[in-house]
Structure 1
């Protein structure tokens, strides 16, 4: 039965004509009929006489025209409002800080502030770029093991826990641009022979942060800071080291006055590098100015 069907199919193929250009049809939807002009033998192609339709000079994509374009009719979203005057805090991680300690580029027997970090020569801070100090990030918080007294300008809760877990202390401190310029390069500042400036209070939008004991703000109540240390230790599940019997307790609890920018140097003093002495003012008006916070 199968052989008869095969023979019949082969005979049918033999009787069919060969494929040639004169016996094949085009594929469907490949041929189009020419559009004729219904209005006679004209060459306008239905576009009219003149104008944008005839010449194809349509408006570019996105052009709206009229008196009120989209940029004027839509409300503004000021995502970058006052971007040029925002305070910038260049990041420094705990991993980098631990590496500086391991390489003896930071002395842990003394308080560490932004001047100590700048003296390593590995970080660049520029007042003209609105750099307002160090933002200590939590990268390497599990590997951090140094016991230090640290002062930074911005940080997070996890960083505070990593430092206090090892028995160290941390303070967040604000400095205004003139004070930051002196802190970034103290030697260049002392060569000018200018009095050490007094530090101003934080601006209104930063006052809450530097007064918050949870962020160890330098304007916070010391008793509230002790309570915040205990709460943070309970939150992260570590035992808070006791500083009362610590041999380096004095160094760990050393703090600057809110008007002071250098350890051991008061506002208004002049450092004479040539004679290696410090000039202290005696005038009452002079002392009153440098001892007030306005």
Structure 2
């Protein structure tokens, strides 16, 4: 700790300080002051000042760093005394007005009704735009020669938290210059058109929240599952060694957990649709639709036969009569 010495000492009041350039004799102390302090004592403009060893005891906030608390009911000089800014009597002074109270007339939620809601069952998709992907490729944070999956998007910090999946959007499509092969949960039509115009591919597949956590942890393959058919997808860029054999897919491709496939009607119909580039689009037969309720139209002969059977007195009526026990 530096010494706390007064800059003007009684010992100096009687004589003058020696020059700095004057060689100091063997005596290290002159007039009771060490020689190494003499240059600093000579050039001080205000000898009455003192130097403190630490400023930690004098730290304080800058002016305006926080709002000063309003003290109410402490006299009229503050402007908030007397009635404390609440006015004279009434409910607003003694209590609080209920939320939505508008003076006692018919409330707004009764006049106009309640509308709108928050869908708690909606999927929370993390959006990713094409211009951001191109920026990450230019920085070397994404490798366009390999498939871009949820794991690469998360590891490169392009996306932070991924809850239910990733949706590819077409914002900044004009900035995309590199062909990419990406696997996401969903994709917009503009994004699909922009990627395929450069020779890239977009594949959508089903993910769950638990599967996403396992993919990020390296416990599940990013896109190969039991119903993943590399040959039917006809995309060599997504080819994985050993994925053709069902035995390897059953064993989770060497990972700890298998990647699940959709089971609900809504998810099945989405990933069976070719316009969404779903990975189950090959399961839709020629002439059919992605809907699970699709039925082939009946021919004229089948319609006539159906009408004959359902007609009164036809085969259906005779069959019904024959089924009676008494």
TM range (shorter): 0.3 to 0.5
Task: Choose between structure 1 and 2 for higher RCO, CA contacts under 8 A separated by at least 6 residues.
Answer: 1
What is the TM-score when the length of structure 1 is the normalising length?
Answer: 0.46
What is the TM-score when the length of structure 2 is the normalising length?
Answer: 0.42
